[in-house]
Amino acid sequence: MTILTTDVIDLIGNDPLKSDVSLVMTDHLTWDNDPHEHLYLIQEKLNKYLSYIESGEFSNSFPHFIEKSILIELVLKFHPPEHAIVILGKFSEIVENAGFKFVWRLLNTTDEYFNDTQN
């Protein structure tokens, strides 16, 4: 699945050694055509993820993760332009205010995470 499929959680990841469970959004789109539409698609998918978490559906489906913090991770195939990075930082603030974490990273980079304070 990708950001084009807003009604599906793309991937759920759990490392038993970490305190977070990751809900992963995958984005294969380039930023060449319409960056504003691209950001809108990310926002729509993110809203669905937040709804899934806040409604209790996630904890009902995965009760064994109830003690873990929730991390929403956006994995991008292509590096976003600077103005999109600023908006992704705003997304991070919104998610943090909801009580969760949001980071983004580029595909094929495992340890390099970005949020509103890193880019």
* Structural domain contains residue 115: no
| Cα 117 to Cα 51, 60, 90, 93, 103, distances in angstroms | 25, 33, 10, 10, 10
| Confidence category of residue 108, pLDDT binned at 50, 70, 90 | confident
Q: Residue 80 is part of which domain span? A: 11-106
pLDDT of residue 1: 75
| Confidence category of residue 18, pLDDT binned at 50, 70, 90 | confident
* Structural domain contains residue 21: yes
* Structural domain contains residue 113: no
pTM over 0.85: yes
Separation between Cα atoms, residue 56 and residue 117, nearest integer Å = 29
* Structural domain contains residue 42: yes
Instruction: Let me know: does 50 contact 96? Beta carbons within 8 Å.
Output: no
* Structural domain contains residue 6: no
Q: What is Dmax (Cα atoms) for the chain? A: 41
Q: How many domains does the chain fold into?
A: 1
Residue 80 backbone dihedrals phi, psi, to 5 degrees: -75, 155
* Structural domain contains residue 49: yes
For residue range 42-100, list pLDDT tens digits in order: 999 999 999 999 999 999 999 999 989 999 999 999 999 999 999 999 999 999 999 99
Partnered with residue 20 across adjacent β-strands are 69
* Structural domain contains residue 3: no
Is residue 110 predicted with pLDDT exceeding 80? no
* Structural domain contains residue 5: no
Q: Is 79 helix (H, G, I), strand (E, B) or coil?
A: coil
